[in-house]
Structures are given as structure tokens and as C-alpha cells.
Amino acid sequence: MASIVAILSSVLIFSAFSPGSSLNFTYYDRTCPRAESIVTNAVKNAVSKDKTVPAGLLRMHFHDCFIRGCDASLLLDSKGRNRSEKEGPPNVNSLHAFYVIDSAKKELEASCPGVVSCADILALAARDAVALAGGPTWDVPKGRKDGRTSKDTETITLPAPTFNISQLQQSFTQRGLSMDDLVALAGGHTIGVSHCSSFQNRIRNFSATQDIDPSMHPSLAARLRSVCQINSTNAKDAVTPMVPSSTSFNNTYYNLILQGEGLFASDQALLDNPRTKDLVSRFASSPEAFRKAFVNSMIKMSSITGGEEIRKDCRVVN
């Protein structure tokens, strides 16, 4: 399987980023030949102890690329009066596993100081995370630079779990991504968990006439209501798996959407457009079609570049 995906990625890469891009597959071959293996080992070590790490790293990479391009601005800590992207509402309670990037960066700085960007580390770590969760692997184009600006207010531009299909399309189009990319990348929801706040509007007081979102299967709504109890002391921190097999990368997500069991409104909204509905059905019936599309779209998304430097420490600018 891995060899098929590797061949596919080499074929599709030309549609993923422009020929004039500074990114390439051999970027560190001479300057830091162990770069990829160092990142892979850091991710492997973390996953061996915590099966939730893959979802954290994949989400981190997505949230980074959708703000200022894939420039690792998400990794910067807040400083003084400036609150960084980490502190933004979509990130502050949902992102974790930053220590994995720190660990890889520390070893890379010892091996080849000032060479490998934090943005490249994050792109490689997301790839390794998917593979270790049972998903495909691919060759990552490298050569990203790290950004110097990170603002929590900019995280409002991230696609929200409450978005309808028009809002999702607009968000992805603004970043040069297609409707096909939207459906493929949404498949990342096959791993990880969600806080109740991300779907609370669907299970209580949905509208003036309906308490529950009619697009949600009643059995799922009932289960979520039991998890997200209004008067519970830990309701704010309550979480539920995105899909039942939340640590295994597969196409279950798409089958659940077809059954009315997509967790977010934005998940279920994929059935509201003929093109995206067709892709949901295709990915639900063909795991291989999903894996191929996911690889292509991940390469395309991770090639949205930005940044100006190679940070010595991923948490602070030089």
C-alpha cells in the first residue's frame, strides 16, 4: 500500500504546487540528510506512549496552514501583550502534542543547527502521524520558512464546525483549495476527539421549532446529549470521539456522514452539494480512493507557503 501511495504522490505533485515553488523533495539531502528520520523517530516515540498524538499533529498542521500558510506561526508562544494563535478560540483547548515538535527540533538543532524549519518539521510530523495511525504515507516537499507573526485574532478565519457548505467552499477557495480538497481533507476527522461546544448547537435548541438538528441521526443525538449534559460539572471539558475508531485512520467518517452521523454541522453539510455528496459516497465505498485523494490534497495544502526565517526554537522568533 505504501509503495502505491508513494508512486501516486510523485505523479500528483505537479498539480499540488507551482513549478516555480521553492519547495522540493531533496531540500535537505546535503544539508541535513537525517532530517526526516529524526522527525519520524520523535513522532514514533510519542505515539508509542499516546495514541492521541496523530490527531493532534494532523490538526496542528491544518490549523497552521490555514492562517498564514504553512509557516509554523501556530507554534509560537504568546509574548507580552501579543496573544499567539495557540491562544485563539479554535486552538486553546483543542490542540496538543506540541512537545513532539519541540523534541524533533531539539535533536535537529544538535545534528544540523539552523537548517530545518519548524514549518517543515510540522509538515513531516503530520505525514508520519497519519501513517502511524494506519493511513497512507507520502513524500513531503520541503523548504518552508518559519513566520514571525502569530495573532490569536486571526484564528477566526479557520473553517468552523458550524459552517454550511457555502462557507466551507469560500474558506477553501480563498486558500487555493478546491471542493475536492475540502472533502478529502475533511477525512482527517476520522481520528481525534471533539469538545461538546463544537456541536452543542445541533443537539439542543437547534431552532425555534426543532430541538435537534434534523440532519443528525436520533441515536447519535441521544448519545451526544448524554455525554454533553448541561448541568454536569465537567460539561465544558467533555469530549467525544469524532468517530468510534478515533485512533485509526480509515474511511469510516464518510460512511457515518451518509448515515446522518457526522459529528459537526460542517461534516453533514458535505451532503448539501452535488459534487461533495458524490465524493462522500465515493470515499465511503472505496478506502483506496480516499487515501489517494487525501495524499494529493495534503501535499497541496502543505505547499501553501509563507515565513521568513529558520527558527532556532519553534516557540520563539530568532
Cα(58)–Cα(128) distance, rounded to whole angstroms?
Answer: 9
Amino acid at 44: K
C-alpha cell at 36: 526526516
Could you tell me how far CA 5 lies from the centroid of its own chain? 19
How many Cβ atoms sit within 10 Å of the Cβ of residue 206?
17
Please report the beta strands in the chain, taking only residues with DSSP state E, as ranges in sequence order.
193-195, 239-241
Cα(57)–Cα(129) distance, rounded to whole angstroms?
Answer: 7
Cα(142)–Cα(295) distance, rounded to whole angstroms?
Answer: 15
Burial of residue 155, with CB atoms counted within 10 A of its CB: 0-12 exposed, 13-18 middle, 19 or more buried: buried
Give the DSSP H/E element, type plus range, for residue 240: strand 239-241
Burial of residue 63, with CB atoms counted within 10 A of its CB: 0-12 exposed, 13-18 middle, 19 or more buried: buried
Question: At a CB cut-off of 8 Å and minimum separation 6, what does 268 contact?
Answer: 213, 215, 216, 257, 260, 262
DSSP 241: E
Measured N-to-C along each axis, helices 35-49 and 98-111 cross at an angle, to the nearest 10 degrees, of 150
C-alpha cell at 142: 520541503
Q: Which residues are catalytic?
A: 63
Cα(143)–Cα(212) distance, rounded to whole angstroms?
Answer: 47
Cα(60)–Cα(190) distance, rounded to whole angstroms?
Answer: 15
Amino acid at 179: M
